[in-house]
Structure 1
Amino acid sequence: MSDLSDFADQLHTEVISDMAESFFGGRKELDNALKAYSSMVKEFLPVIEHMFQAAATLRLLLLDDAGADAFCAELGIDPSRIPQAEGAPILVRESLPFSLTGGGRYNDCVTLAYQGLHEAIWEYLHGRHYDDPDQSGRKRLTMHYRRLKEIAEIINEKIHKANNERSVSTVLREVKRLDPVQMEREEMLGDVVYGDGCEKDPDMCFVPIDFDGYQFPEVEELPSPKDVKPAVKRFCSRLYAERKDEVREAIDVFTGR
């Protein structure tokens, strides 16, 4: 009988230990996940900044809102698809392909700026592959909008489960049930009642990631530079003829003169 009691006590202790390990191990994993996510957001910020710089560069060459609207109309896209520059500095391009005419030079500048924005938006939405500095021959993908959104959804799902299915009160209640004598005594004396759900221990709840709260820019992919090449050329030819002096000034800024 003594052996059976010892075995029962040992089993009881092991069960409680497993429950504690599962509970606190899960919380530690979520803590680490939230810290890692914060680092991912910081890694993503330069990508946003670069996209704004690329947008500022193209908008410089389009001269103003009227020019940008005319450009988008020629390409058949909504003007909102070119992000606002948010006061970002431009990306200076000191070297350009040789061109015999001012109009040709302008077309080269706009083409390069558009390609730069197209690539910046793609990297923002989908990431960019680069060589892994720690492992030769391996490629890694830069942090991007869609990955951040997916990871936030995964973490929030785990947080919801932790807050509602494995709250502190829930775990304590389960532990109490392993000792019915103690539980009966507390109920008779009106001691602490461990209720259901996270509302009983709000200080121990995880706060879900507010992805919308980051206010990341909402952008769409731009048409391929190859597909819009004729439209860009038509626009540049027309605008250069209409506003030659302004275009030349914009080209000087673009080339760092």
Structure 2
Amino acid sequence: MSIKDDFSSSMTDEVLTDMAGKFFGDRKELENKIGIFREYAEALSEKAAQVNARAAFLNYLLMNRDNAVLFYESLGITPSVFLIAGIISGELLPPFVPSAFTVRGEFVRLAEWAYDRLQRTCDDYMNGNEESDGEDDDKHGDVNYRLLSTMCDLINQDVDKVNEDVMPSQVLYCFKRFNTESDIKECVTGGGTFLGDDCSLNRELAFEKIDFDSFKLKKYPEIPPLSRVKSKIETVCKKLYAQNKEEIRSMMADLKERCKTRLA
């Protein structure tokens, strides 16, 4: 082999190595991004379950659907997404029922506590929470709906770029052009395949865009912090107490016992 042929072969190997590295590297990087997105989506689903649990406890305090609708509408909140029922486990209970001079006062304060927990959890789900109190922290603690939605858009842009810029047929065509033995063999045997941009290889190896809606992640409305609606909560809860005095007294007594049992 002449020096010229040796140099040409070396250059060919380098070009093919770089091309293969980019092709497989870009695809691997995109696969990793999609994998991370799916992990984050699963973590966000767990956060959604926490929001639902907080809403279920608040609705339990409000006793029935009509009262819950009245409560949310009094605060300027569309109630439909929060009208959730569920089993009230010990994890949802406060360490103790907030103290007050009257049962009515205890009921109002407990409703405020439950609303505050719902609002904070909902805000963390939608926007993230920089002031984490350590509760429910994990390796995906910063994931939130808006972040995940943005990630989805960016990854789908990468999907378009990888599918269009580095087509498998183009890479294979370049390899075949540099492979003299393959060319000779195809000429002798009559082999060879058309590798246009619309070939089946490209379609089979193309990445699919992420369908964000398929993950069925709720988009909760922004709800105001407790400090902005505390007086409204007090007003509506006092009204509910006046209309359901005996039922609320019984519920509060039961919750006090359950809190004691939890601490025992």
Normalised by the size of structure 1, how large is the TM-score?
0.85
User: What secondary structure sits across from 1:201 in the alignment?
Assistant: helix
Cα distance, 1:248 vs. partner? 2.5
Cα distance, 1:181 vs. partner? 10
User: What secondary structure sits across from 1:153 in the alignment?
Assistant: helix
Tell me, yes or no, if structure 1 residue 163 matches structure 2 residue 163. yes
In structure 2, do the counterparts of structure 1 residues 217 and 203 end up closer, same or farther at CA, with 3 Å as the change threshold?
Answer: same
Tell me, yes or no, if structure 1 residue 35 matches structure 2 residue 35. yes
Tell me, yes or no, if structure 1 residue 61 matches structure 2 residue 41. no
The alignment covers a number of residue pairs equal to 249
Partner of 1:105: 106
Cα distance, 1:209 vs. partner? 1.9
Whether the 8 Å CA contact 2:30–2:155 is kept in 1: the answer is yes
Tell me, yes or no, if structure 1 residue 201 matches structure 2 residue 202. yes
108-117 or 147-156: bigger deviation: 147-156
202-211 or 218-227: bigger deviation: 202-211
In structure 2, do the counterparts of structure 1 residues 58 and 26 end up closer, same or farther at CA, with 3 Å as the change threshold?
Answer: same
Tell me, yes or no, if structure 1 residue 85 matches structure 2 residue 91. no
In structure 2, do the counterparts of structure 1 residues 58 and 215 end up closer, same or farther at CA, with 3 Å as the change threshold?
Answer: same
Cα distance, 1:141 vs. partner? 5.1
Q: Which ranges in structure 1 are unaligned for 5 or more consecutive residues? A: 133-139
Partner of 1:5: 5
Cα distance, 1:198 vs. partner? 6.8
The CA distance in 1 between the partners of 2:203 and 2:41, in whole Å, is: 26
The CA distance in 1 between the partners of 2:230 and 2:20, in whole Å, is: 63
39-48 or 101-110: bigger deviation: 39-48
In structure 2, do the counterparts of structure 1 residues 73 and 86 end up closer, same or farther at CA, with 3 Å as the change threshold?
Answer: closer
Indicate the percent of aligned positions where both proteins have the same amino acid: 29
In structure 2, do the counterparts of structure 1 residues 37 and 88 end up closer, same or farther at CA, with 3 Å as the change threshold?
Answer: farther
Q: Which ranges in structure 2 are unaligned for 5 or more consecutive residues? A: 135-139, 260-264
Partner of 1:137: none
Normalised by the size of structure 2, how large is the TM-score?
0.82
Tell me, yes or no, if structure 1 residue 233 matches structure 2 residue 234. yes
195-204 or 232-241: bigger deviation: 195-204
Whether the 8 Å CA contact 1:60–1:250 is kept in 2: the answer is no
Runs of 4+ in 1 over 6 A off after TM superposition: 179-185
Amino acid at match of 1:29: E
Cα distance, 1:157 vs. partner? 1.5
User: What secondary structure sits across from 1:142 in the alignment?
Assistant: coil
In structure 2, do the counterparts of structure 1 residues 196 and 185 end up closer, same or farther at CA, with 3 Å as the change threshold?
Answer: farther
Partner of 1:135: none
Whether the 8 Å CA contact 1:93–1:254 is kept in 2: the answer is no
Whether the 8 Å CA contact 1:12–1:178 is kept in 2: the answer is yes
The CA distance in 2 between the partners of 1:213 and 1:37, in whole Å, is: 13
The CA distance in 2 between the partners of 1:131 and 1:232, in whole Å, is: 24
Q: 1:112-131 alignment to 2 at 5 Å?
A: 112-129=113-130, 130=132
The CA distance in 2 between the partners of 1:253 and 1:30, in whole Å, is: 53
Partner of 2:146: 146
The CA distance in 1 between the partners of 2:11 and 2:252, in whole Å, is: 79
In structure 2, do the counterparts of structure 1 residues 86 and 235 end up closer, same or farther at CA, with 3 Å as the change threshold?
Answer: closer
Whether the 8 Å CA contact 1:48–1:124 is kept in 2: the answer is yes
Cα distance, 1:199 vs. partner? 4.5
Whether the 8 Å CA contact 1:107–1:233 is kept in 2: the answer is yes
The CA distance in 2 between the partners of 1:232 and 1:210, in whole Å, is: 39
In structure 2, do the counterparts of structure 1 residues 56 and 131 end up closer, same or farther at CA, with 3 Å as the change threshold?
Answer: closer
140-149 or 47-56: bigger deviation: 140-149
Tell me, yes or no, if structure 1 residue 213 matches structure 2 residue 205. no
Partner of 1:16: 16
Amino acid at match of 1:3: I
The CA distance in 2 between the partners of 1:146 and 1:104, in whole Å, is: 37
Amino acid at match of 1:200: L
189-198 or 212-221: bigger deviation: 189-198
Whether the 8 Å CA contact 2:145–2:219 is kept in 1: the answer is no
Amino acid at match of 1:43: A
The CA distance in 2 between the partners of 1:178 and 1:93, in whole Å, is: 71
Whether the 8 Å CA contact 2:59–2:85 is kept in 1: the answer is no
